[in-house]
Structures are given as structure tokens and as C-alpha cells.
Amino acid sequence: TKDWNGIDQVVLRNPRGASVRVSLHGGQVTSWRNDRGEELLFTSSKAIFKPPKAMRGGIPICFPQFGNCGSLQQHGFARNKIWSIDENPPPIHPNDSLGKSFVDLLLKPSDDDLKCWPHCFEFRLRVSLAADGKLTLISRIRNISGKPFHFSFAYHTYLSVSDISEVRIEGLETLDYLDNLCQRKRFTEQGDAITFESEVDRVYLSSPNVIAVLDHERKRTYVIRKEGLPDVVVWNPWEKKAKAMLDFGDDEYKQMLCVDGAIIEKPITLKPGEEWTGRLELGVVPSSFCDEG
């Protein structure tokens, strides 16, 4: 199908009726629905569909730079480029396709890209939807230039939640984090689940590979499993920042939370011919909340 600008979008479906949409613009997952057709990712009602800017929501790919800690535009250029369908991807681990519907996308730098980031790479992204509705993104980035390069990376994942003040994250307790709201200074998280009462913009470091995001009101838990992605970005703009963003509704901060599998603190260095893989799996399970006393 075509997306907002007549750019191709691939729709994946599974036998139970779950679906995923991926736009060739940015290799961006723009929708992930369960078998009841409920949208699990947040997309702003004010999203601006105007390439090359990434649409506000879904899962923009931040590469080769996360944030603005470097010479490139915020979050790098991968999310602003047109990707192609990769007709003959190199073999991938069999259980990454068994019983799944998937699409393989490819991004290679244009001459323009090489002007702002002079490193030749092949970025292969496999997006797959499993029979049980889990969404998996596998990024394989290979250095095909003659010299090493380094990069940081994030799956900028906008989760849809019912009410941010009823959401908590389990799995990041006691970790160190860099706080974007305090000049990226390092702090240590306290010992219980993270809850939200104001703007949060943090990079949790050396995190476990399974993180749970509990949405109390909808009695559902997002289970995030990751490999090759040691850091987790947690972002909610809250009211003031939300009002300042053109492509974000004033009150929409209440219905979203970014929890991004990432590699930021220690960027990856690839030697010529080397390849890095970053794998993210998103699932949703009903959570019977035992209300804490």
C-alpha cells in the first residue's frame, strides 16, 4: 500500500489478524495492531507527514547517531531516508523467519549521505510479525568501507498507554542513567519500579535484556526483549514540552511513553567487513494487577 506521501508501505498480517505497517520512508514501523485491531504504538494526531522529517510515532530508527551528541542532525539520517525492499537478504537465523510474516529493508548511503557521514555501510532491517502477534525488528549494520567507523543507535519506540500516570517500568531499578534534563549527568535509579509524574528524558545504562512496561488501566504489559542493545532510553515530554512540539497534541503526553532499546553510552565501532546486530522483540501480555496496598 502507499503511505501518506504515496511512499510504499508494507503491511504484514498473521493468521489471527494482527498486523504491522512499515513505511519505506525511514524504515519506520508506523503501526502494530493486535488480533483485535487495537493499535499498540502511539502516533500523534498532529503528526506531520512531510518527508524527509520522520512521522511522530511508531518506531523511528535512530542511526548513525542518537540525539544531538554529534555532528549530524538529531537522531541521525536513517529515519529520514527512503529505504528499499531487500529482495535477496543474506541468510538470517531460521527461527527469525519460521512461522512469521516479515519484510527485509535495505539502506545504503547516497553520495549526499557520504558527504555528511563518510562511511559506507549496508543497513539491513528485518521487521517480522509472529503467529502470536509479537513484533520483532532485527538491524544488521555492516561496514563495507575501507576503514573503521563508530555509531550510536536506538529503536525510538512510541508505546501507546492509556494514562502515563498509571504506567510503571520494571527492570531498570538501581541502574545508572544519564539525565538529559541535567546536562546528561549520571545518576542512580532507586530500588523500585519507575513511575511518571513529570518530564523524563533518560538513558539507562547496561540494562537487562527484558524490560516490562505495565499499563495499569488497560491491564496490559508490554514485554520488551532485546539483544545487542545495552541501553534503554525512557522519554515522556510531559505538558510543557508537548505544547512546544508542533507535531504533538497538547495532552498527548498522557497516552505515550518512549522506551527505546539503544546503544548510546558506548557507541559501536565496526572494522571493515564487520557487522553489528541489534534485535528488539515487543510483546503484550494481559497483566492481572495485584494492587499494591
Binding residues for ligand TA6, rule: CB under 6 A, are 67, 74-75, 180, 201, 233, 235, 258
In a 10 Å sphere around its CB, with 0-12 CB exposed, 13-18 middle and 19+ buried, how is residue 203 labelled?
buried
Of 105 and 257, nearer to ligand TA6 (C-beta) is: 257
Question: DSSP assignment of the chain, as one string?
Answer: -B-TTS-BEEEEE-TTS-EEEEETBTTEEEEEE-TT--B-B-B-TT----TTSPPSBSB-EE-S-STTSSSSSTT-SGGGSB-EE-SSPPP--GGGTTTEEEEEEEE---HHHHHHS---EEEEEEEEEETTS-EEEEEEEEE-SSS-EEEEEEE--EEE-S-GGGEEEES-TT-EEEEGGGTTEEEE--SS-EE-SS-EEEEE-S--SEEEEEETTTTEEEEEEEES--EEEEEE-HHHHHHH-TTS-TTGGGGEEEEEEEEEEEEEEE-TT-EEEEEEEEEEEE-------
- Smallest gap, in angstroms, from Cβ of residue 145 to ligand TA6? 27
Question: Minimum CB separation from ligand TA6 for residue 78, in Å?
Answer: 12
Between 117 and 158, CB nearer to ligand TA6:
158
Q: Please state the closest distance from residue 198 (CB atom) to ligand TA6, in A.
A: 14
Q: 194 vs 233, which CB is nearer to ligand TA6?
A: 233
Pick the closer one to ligand TA6 by CB: 104 or 113. 113
d(CA 253, CA 31): 18
* Nearer Cβ to ligand TA6 (14/28): 28
Would you say 138 or 258 has its CB closer to ligand TA6? 258
Nearer Cβ to ligand TA6 (75/134): 75
Q: How far is the CB of 41 from ligand TA6 (least distance, A)?
A: 14
Q: How far is the CB of 217 from ligand TA6 (least distance, A)?
A: 23
Q: How far apart are CA 73 and CA 83, in angstroms?
A: 18
Q: Which residue's C-beta sits nearest to ligand TA6?
A: 235
Q: Which is nearer to ligand TA6, 204 or 276 (CB)?
A: 204
Taking the complex as a whole, the smallest distance from the CB of residue 247 to ligand TA6 amounts, in Å, to: 8
Quote the least distance from Cβ 212 to ligand TA6, whole Å.
19
CB of 19 to ligand TA6, least distance (A): 24
The span from the CA of 265 to the CA of 284, in Å, is 28
